[in-house]
Amino acid sequence: MSFTLEFEPLGIRLVCDQPLTLLEAAHQTGIQLRSECGGKGTCGKCHIQLLEGTFDSPTPIEQKHLTPAQLSSRLRLACRTIARSDAKLNIPPESLIQEQVLQTEGAAHEFAPDPAVQQVFVKLSPPSLADLQADWQRVQSALQTHNLGNLKASLPVICSIRNELRRSQWKINLIHNDKEILHALPQTNFIPVGLAVDVGSTKLACYLVDLTSGKTIAALGVINPQISFGEDIMSRLGAVLEDEKNAHELQNAVISGINCACQDMCTSVNITPNSIVDVCLVGNTAMHHLFLGLPVQPLAQSPFVPALTSALYPRAQAIGIQAMPGARVYAPPVIAGFVGSDHLAFLLASGFGTDSRTRLGIDIGTNTEIALQSNNRIVSVSTASGPAFEGAHIRFGMRAAPGAIEHITIAKDGRAVCQVIGNQPAVGICGSGILDAVAEFRLTGLINERGRLDKNSPVIFKDSDGQLSYQLIQAGENQREINIDQKDIDQILLAKGAIRAGIDILLDDLKIKAEEIDEVVIAGAFGSYMNPDHAMRIGLLPPIKKDCVHAVGNAAGMGARMMLASMEMRARALELAHKIEYLELTVYPDFPLFFAKGIRA
């Protein structure tokens, strides 16, 4: 009986007919897993993490190469681990010959740093029999000369101030926000650093920002460790519904992922997490709630109401984030059950609310959030588009990463010409490639307007499963065959239909025509690779003006950094959050008709 292996974070799937080692399986898909010893079990380089599935216990060779901590986190040697049934695996970056890329870049944005956390240096005269003022009152008097006499301090901070004052000859550097002193330091050359995080269901995009200059000094994209509870939000929420304890496990998983990424970034720039004075974290509402320890059960059931939408500022230490004692985590407002603070950050970084242009913002994912700005209104929707544009549920689908077919044209003889990310042998096809394929099929008549492949075409064949199929890449040495079949096209048209219905309903609600849209901004890796003409040809986008589509990369990450480094940006985000009107698609009149119209090819 066949079984399926899924390799994360690339999102590549392999259907297997017989037991095989995970190294063989990875090589069959074209994944370049490190295997210096050729699978003999001597190099110890072919690390792979078991996320789901049943496997034999580690062999003595694995016990020799892997530490007990690695084994307990289900890390194994791919050449020693045999797959016999459905499983999900995670490939750590260090196991790949060419490291995977998780998008952290966003369109650069100019803003003046104006951080929430500042530092002030105070020099005091020591107490004497003639001057018996208490230490804290002495500090408060000095702060008054800096117009900071209103600052409070917690008991632990007052104690540490007392000790530092005596250690550093009554000179002290106080780290503070507008309400309280967070920490006392002896040195004056301290550079305050902030941590911004965009928590996605699949990845964590993490940034260290120098808060004096507003510049990003390190960026790192890592897999969200919660993926071991399921790839999509609903399966993670389902795990909490099954057992409430899983909420705590999910919270611990994401926090340890952020701490690990933060430690790696700190090491790369020669600082310690103790230099982190402020944190800003954005994410979809489920990720936001799980991170903060808020109840998520209502997000799993209709009417999908969040526990709260307002901004929160918990202490980093109370949550478990490694940072300077006293540092806080700024969690900006969320908008609705399926429209989180990542959407707010995306719109902030894209300048929504700052001009009067008619603008459409789209962040394509398993849930696609769409915002339309027009006539001084901003209306947002969330549509369940499924993971097809991220390569999931597509037979040879994968995420936009090296080895993914990103662009396809069909030559006159009906054969495909494929462009692969990283100019290397293709291992799969990502969302933009699938979009191209469907657009080219439509243009060349290989599919009709209902998306049916033309069974009479000489380039369409029936595959071993009896599905009508089109060959993108022929099998060869070190190259697996890659096809697109009817089921793949159906999945893309469903995803496209959900997104297009969301756009059309927004246009309908705001009573504007597509040709009136001045700009479309598309976030995420898919937007960076997408061909806008093809998006219009298959109807993913309505007929809009030429050259008005702009890819903005990880705009949510950019927005998080802006809110981290600037109080003005936080204030603007709050205004934006109040301004955004959430529209529930499923109760919109004629929603099924909009959707039915949207899925046409």
Q: Using CB under 6 A as the criterion, which residues of the chain lie in contact with ligand FES when the complex forms? A: 23, 35-37, 39, 41-46, 77, 79
Give the amino acid at 488.
D
Burial 29-58, CB ≥16 within 10 A → b, else e: bbbbbbbeeebebeebbbbbbbbbbebeeb
Cα–Cα distance list, 558 to 61, 285, 395, 462, 591 (Å): 45, 18, 33, 46, 33
With contact defined as beta carbons under 8 Å apart, do 408 and 472 qualify?
yes
Rounding to the nearest 10 degrees, give the CA dihedral for residues 396, 397, 398, 399.
160
Residue 129, C-beta contacts closer than 8 angstroms, at least 6 positions apart: none
Nearer to ligand FES, 35 or 341 (CB): 35
Copy the structure tokens of residue 301. 């059931």
User: Which residue's beta carbon is nearest to the bound ligand FES?
Assistant: 79
Nearer to ligand FES, 78 or 209 (CB): 78
Nearer to ligand FES, 97 or 417 (CB): 97
CB 95, min distance to ligand FES, A? 10
CB 21, min distance to ligand FES, A? 9
Nearer to ligand FES, 44 or 238 (CB): 44
CB 63, min distance to ligand FES, A? 13
Indicate the SS3 state at residue 118: strand
CB 59, min distance to ligand FES, A? 11
State how far the Cα of 500 lies from the Cα of 540, in Å rounded to an integer: 5
Q: What is the DSSP string of 306-342?
A: -S--S-B--BHHHHT--SSTT-EEEBPPP-BTTB-HH
> What is the 3-class SS of 574-592, one letter each residue?
HHHHHHEEECCHHHCCCHH
CB 23, min distance to ligand FES, A? 6
CB 467, min distance to ligand FES, A? 35
CB 122, min distance to ligand FES, A? 58
Nearer to ligand FES, 58 or 194 (CB): 58
With contact defined as beta carbons under 8 Å apart, do 316 and 147 qualify?
no
State how far the Cα of 77 lies from the Cα of 35, in Å rounded to an integer: 10
Indicate the SS3 state at residue 42: coil
CB 90, min distance to ligand FES, A? 16
Nearer to ligand FES, 42 or 145 (CB): 42
State how far the Cα of 10 lies from the Cα of 525, in Å rounded to an integer: 13
State how far the Cα of 323 lies from the Cα of 74, in Å rounded to an integer: 28
Nearer to ligand FES, 42 or 163 (CB): 42
State how far the Cα of 541 lies from the Cα of 526, in Å rounded to an integer: 14
φ, ψ for residue 25, nearest 5 deg? -60, -45
Q: Is the peptide bond prior to 9 cis by the omega test (within 30 degrees of 0)?
A: yes
CB 215, min distance to ligand FES, A? 41
Nearer to ligand FES, 24 or 105 (CB): 24
Residues in the chain: 601
CB atoms within 10 A of CB 490: 15
DSSP alpha helix (H) spans, 357-510: 431-443, 486-510
Nearer to ligand FES, 36 or 178 (CB): 36
Nearer to ligand FES, 64 or 215 (CB): 64
Nearer to ligand FES, 33 or 564 (CB): 33
CB 312, min distance to ligand FES, A? 45
CB 78, min distance to ligand FES, A? 6
CB 48, min distance to ligand FES, A? 9
Residue 456, C-beta contacts closer than 8 angstroms, at least 6 positions apart: none
Nearer to ligand FES, 27 or 343 (CB): 27
